[in-house]
């Protein structure tokens, strides 16, 4: 039978396993012009939390009783499609099912070997694009500037910091464990890294490692971490607002320091973005990231969890920082 994961109920606060429901369905024979896909790798991403709510956003909410969707790499195992053949690998926004039928629309055929495939959910996929485009289009790094990245050891953050280094910035990462602090400095070559969970005065700690102030703040987390960084920004700072995971499970509207006095007095620019805003630039961005990977200038990390049944837990674990780099489930 074909296992499927549905939204069981809308989470209140941090998601739990009971918010998901496992069911099974017969595997359909693909009609003419369609393909049958076998799921190989599933991306779990913080933004899926927003889709579990019943609220308007830039992507529609998941419906209760319907399958959850996310970025998936799959193998074509049966086909009467004109272009996609048995044995091809594809990526796309697909349902949390072991097998599914598709008409091929919206899928990208991957020219990759099996061992390479997971990269198309991370460094060569949505999170790599988010890092590159958010930083270069909004952060606009210049040689000698100081870049601070929160969520620094995650899929987006670890790439942002490295691109900042390539572009000549001094790079500071903020993350949640000492192991991740080490990883940022060794594997990803950040200049400094701070553990926000064990640092009593984050504002002061940032000031210490950013003696010239902060020119770019790439914000993945929002909340108190961002309050501490904002207190250190320079005149004309740029702040790409990529995510605010620290508030995704809030049940009340969070209240913190008002940002207007800082943004105004520093003539700073705070810009929210969705990676899709830059879709016209995806091909050039992927080309640049691929070049850096081939030149050995970019490293990447993946946390691979095995088993279809573990998809919901892997997703929940993002909110406990259990991942280093991109969190992926191998089916
Ligand atoms: P990550 O790989 O960074 O995983 C999430 C990480 O967030 C965890 O590992 C954890 O690391 C950290 N975290 C969890 N809870 C908190 C908290 N309460 N406070 C601070 N940090 C926390 O995820 P992604 O790289 O995929 O995404 C990073 C951010 O970018 C997210 O906010 C996401 O929604 C956003 N995003 C936005 C996109 C856009 O188009 N704007 C596209 C893709 C992602 P730690 O151990 O350091 O706490």
Q: How far does residue 157's CA lie from ligand 1's centre (Å)?
A: 8
In the chain, where does DSSP find H-type helix? 48-51, 126-133, 155-166, 178-186, 202-209, 223-230, 260-265, 282-294, 311-317
CA-nearest residue for atom 35, ligand 1, is 243
Q: How far does residue 34's CA lie from ligand 1's centre (Å)?
A: 35
- The Cα 197–Cα 175 span in angstroms is 8
Residue to mutate, 121, 122, 126, 154, ligand 1, most ligand atoms under 8 Å from C-beta: 154
Asked whether the whole model's pTM tops 0.95, one would answer yes
CA-nearest residue for atom 27, ligand 1, is 156
CA-nearest residue for atom 15, ligand 1, is 319
Q: Which of 37, 60, 51 shows the shortest CA–CA distance to 7?
A: 51
CA-nearest residue for atom 9, ligand 1, is 321
Residue 262: per-residue pLDDT:
98
Residue 314: per-residue pLDDT:
98
- The Cα 52–Cα 189 span in angstroms is 36
CA distances from residue 58 to 70, 153, 236, 275 in whole angstroms, order as listed:
15, 26, 29, 11
- The Cα 259–Cα 272 span in angstroms is 14
Q: How far does residue 248's CA lie from ligand 1's centre (Å)?
A: 10
Q: How far does residue 183's CA lie from ligand 1's centre (Å)?
A: 16
CA distances from residue 107 to 43, 94, 121, 166, 214 in whole angstroms, order as listed:
15, 9, 13, 32, 40
Residue 150: per-residue pLDDT:
98
* pLDDT tens-digit profile, the chain (331 residues): 899 999 999 999 999 999 999 999 888 889 999 999 999 999 999 999 999 999 888 889 999 999 999 999 999 999 999 999 999 999 999 999 999 999 999 999 998 776 689 999 999 999 999 999 999 999 999 999 999 999 999 999 999 999 999 999 999 999 999 999 999 999 999 999 999 999 999 999 999 999 999 999 999 999 999 999 999 999 999 999 999 999 999 999 999 999 999 999 999 999 999 999 999 999 999 999 999 999 999 999 999 999 999 999 999 999 999 999 999 999 9
In this structure, are residues 159 and 298 in contact, taking their beta carbons and an 8 Å threshold?
A: yes
Rounded to 10 deg, the angle between the 223-230 and 202-209 helix axes is: 50
Q: How far does residue 104's CA lie from ligand 1's centre (Å)?
A: 30
CA-nearest residue for atom 5, ligand 1, is 318
Residue 270: per-residue pLDDT:
98
In this structure, are residues 39 and 97 in contact, taking their beta carbons and an 8 Å threshold?
A: yes
- The Cα 189–Cα 165 span in angstroms is 8
Which residues' Cβ are closer than 6 Å to ligand 1? 45-47, 127, 130, 151, 153-157, 175-177, 180, 220-221, 225, 242-243, 245-246, 273-275, 318-319, 321, 323, 327
Instruction: Write phi, then psi, for 302 (nearest 5 degrees).
Output: -135, 140
Residue 114: per-residue pLDDT:
67
Burial 59-76 (b: 16+ CB within 10 A, else e): eebbeeeebbbbbbbbbb
DSSP states of 9-72 as a string?
Answer: S--SSS--GGGEEEEEEPPPPPPTT-EEEEEEEEE--TTHHHHTSSS--SSPPPPTTSB-EEEE
- The Cα 177–Cα 243 span in angstroms is 20
Q: How far does residue 147's CA lie from ligand 1's centre (Å)?
A: 17
Q: Which of 301, 273, 291, 318 shows the shortest CA–CA distance to 161?
A: 301
Relative to the CA of 244, which ligand 1 atom is closest? 32
Rounded to 10 deg, the angle between the 126-133 and 282-294 helix axes is: 100
Residue 26: per-residue pLDDT:
87
CA-nearest residue for atom 11, ligand 1, is 321
């Amino acid at each position: 039978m074909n296992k499927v994961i549905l939204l069981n109920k809308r989470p209140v606060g941090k998601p739990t396993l009971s918010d998901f429901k496992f069911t099974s369905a017969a595997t359909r024979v693909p009609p003419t012009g369609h393909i049958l896909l076998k799921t190989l790798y599933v991306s779990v991403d913080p933004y899926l939390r927003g889709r579990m709510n019943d609220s308007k956003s830039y992507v529609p909410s998941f419906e209760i009783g319907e399958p959850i969707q996310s970025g998936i790499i799959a193998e074509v195992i049966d086909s009467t499609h004109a272009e996609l053949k048995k044995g091809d690998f594809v990526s796309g926004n697909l349902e949390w099912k072991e097998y599914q039928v598709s008409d091929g629309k919206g899928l990208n055929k991957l020219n990759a070997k099996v061992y390479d495939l997971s990269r198309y959910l991370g460094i060569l996929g949505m999170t790599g694009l988010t890092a590159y485009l958010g930083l270069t289009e909004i952060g606009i790094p210049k040689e000698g500037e100081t870049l601070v990245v929160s969520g620094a050891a995650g899929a987006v953050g670890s790439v942002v910091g490295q691109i900042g280094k390539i572009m000549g910035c001094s790079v500071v990462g903020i993350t949640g464990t000492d192991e991740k602090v080490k990883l940022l400095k060794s594997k990803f070559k950040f200049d400094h890294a701070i553990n926000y969970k064990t640092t009593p005065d984050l504002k002061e700690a940032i000031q210490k490692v950013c003696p010239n102030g902060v020119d770019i703040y790439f914000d993945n987390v929002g909340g108190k971490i961002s309050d501490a960084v904002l207190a250190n920004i320079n005149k004309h700072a740029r702040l790409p607002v990529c995510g605010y995971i620290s508030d995704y499970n809030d049940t009340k509207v969070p209240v913190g320091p008002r940002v207007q006095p800082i943004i105004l007095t520093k003539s700073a620019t705070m810009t929210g973005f969705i990676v899709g805003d830059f879709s016209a630039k995806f091909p050039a961005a992927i080309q640049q990231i691929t070049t850096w990977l081939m030149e050995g200038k970019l490293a990447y990390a993946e946390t691979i969890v095995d088993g279809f049944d573990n998809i919901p837990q892997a997703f929940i674990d993002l909110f406990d920082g259990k991942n280093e780099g991109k969190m992926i489930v191998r089916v």
